Chains A and B, each alone.
Chain A
Amino acid sequence: EDQVTQSPEALRLQEGESSSLNCSYTVSGLRGLFWYRQDPGKGPEFLFTLYSAGEEKEKERLKATLTKKESFLHITAPKPEDSATYLCAVQRIIQGAQKLVFGQGTRLTINP
């Protein structure tokens, strides 16, 4: 059965304190892995897509990496505005259609 597990469930950091969020998955036929950011009361906002092991993508203070079994979202010198829930999702193609399987998210809080 497809499974996506994110850890930790919640993380509290001080401003400027770098850390990493983990997304591990067991999926057959993985086509891609997506990272989203979700602010309270809003819909998820797309951040990155990773397609193959070894791939890395960066955006401002965020860098996403992918291995064969997990992905990391590295946050460098975070600011309070980086506080949000970060979701990862793995993409499978089933009968020609895309299916996304989401993890439960990591709730990140950055204290000033």
Chain B
Amino acid sequence: NAGVTQTPKFQVLKTGQSMTLQCAQDMNHNSMYWYRQDPGMGLRLIYYSASEGTTDKGEVPNGYNVSRLNKREFSLRLESAAPSQTSVYFCASSVISYNEQFFGPGTRLTVL
């Protein structure tokens, strides 16, 4: 049981480049989430998917898009990366949207 996995672990982009962060869970959870963590800011919700086929904006959605590919996978896309998107990105999942969330190991993204 791998839990929540994220790829890549590290990434360096130039301003304006695009990329997709991948997340998968093998716990048969219905809900999935993307957060970013910045020093002094805490974890902030970018987007979430309460169930397969639905996605909604969180606190800081600008500059990001998401796709709930199936029940297991939830990807986060940066269309045109900006230095302000330098952060650590965490994916999480929960059985349903009201339960505790389980987090992946994170992707450390630097935008130059």
A interface with B by C-beta (< 8 Å): 4, 31-32, 34, 36, 41-46, 49, 87, 89, 91, 93, 96-100, 102-105
| A34-B100, A42-B106, A46-B100 known; A100-B90 Cβ under 8 A | no
Tell me which residues across on chain A come within 8 A of B106, comparing CB atoms.
Answer: 41-43
Q: Is the CB of A104 within 8 A of B40?
A: yes
Q: Is the CB of B98 within 8 A of A31?
A: yes
B interface with A by C-beta (< 8 Å): 4, 31, 40-45, 48, 50, 56, 58, 90, 92, 94, 97-98, 100-106
Q: Is the CB of B42 within 8 A of A98?
A: no
Q: Is the CB of A97 within 8 A of B50?
A: yes
Tell me which residues across on chain A come within 8 A of B97, comparing CB atoms.
Answer: 96-98
Tell me the dominant secondary structure on chain B's binding face.
Answer: strand
Tell me which residues across on chain B come within 8 A of A87, comparing CB atoms.
Answer: 42-43
Q: Is the CB of A105 within 8 A of B58?
A: no
State in angstroms the CA–CA spacing of A87 and B100 once bound together: 13
Q: Is the CB of A44 within 8 A of B103?
A: yes
- 13 cross-chain CB contacts under 8 A: A31-B98, A42-B106, A43-B4, A43-B90, A44-B43, A87-B43, A89-B43, A97-B50, A97-B56, A97-B97, A98-B50, A104-B40, A104-B42
Instruction: Pick the contact of A96: B4, B45, B50, B101 (CB < 8 A).
Output: B50
Q: Is the CB of A42 within 8 A of B105?
A: yes
Tell me which residues across on chain A come within 8 A of B58, comparing CB atoms.
Answer: 99
Q: Is the CB of A98 within 8 A of B90?
A: no
Tell me which residues across on chain A come within 8 A of B94, comparing CB atoms.
Answer: 98
